[in-house]
Amino acid sequence: MLFFEIITIVLPVFLVILLGWLLRRIGMIDATFLATTNRLVYYVALPLLLFHRIGTADFASNFNPVLVGGSIAVTVLLFLLTWSLGAPMKLPGAVRGVFSQGSCRGNLAYMGL
């Protein structure tokens, strides 16, 4: 039973990915569309989603200090790890910062944190 629950949650995500791949492959969407859509999602849709979720959240019953603390700890550790990996990769300072930020910051919005 759990298998079908997991499939009903994960399958739509993979179907959207497949649809994007197919649309790109047949030329219905191009690099300009993807760049514009990425900016729209990152600067408009995700902040709106976060604002909505925070505004409608029931913090009294949903607050989980272990989850919050764990998320902060993992984010900090991931940032430090990716920052330290930037040196052997010979990444310049600005690129190293972008590498570290991109590795740890973007996923929190998708998790709803």
Instruction: Name the residue range of residue 30's domain.
Output: 1-63
Are 81 and 103 members of one domain? yes
Q: What is the pLDDT, as a whole number, of residue 30?
A: 93
Are 2 and 47 members of one domain? yes
Does 108 score more than 70 pLDDT? no
Please calculate the CA angle 102-108-113 and round it to the nearest 5 degrees: 160
Q: What is the pLDDT, as a whole number, of residue 110?
A: 61
Which position has the higher pLDDT, 13 or 112? 13
Are 59 and 82 members of one domain? no
In tens, the pLDDT along 46-66 reads 999 989 988 888 888 878 899
Report how many domains make up the chain: 2
DSSP string over 23-63: HHHTTSS-HHHHHHHHHHIIIIIHHHHHHHHHHH--HHHH-
- Helix, strand and coil content of the chain, in percent to the nearest 5, comes to 85, 0, 15
Model pTM greater than 0.85? no
Backbone CA torsion sign across 100, 103, 104, 108: positive
For 16, which DSSP code?
H
Tell me the average pLDDT across 88-103: 86
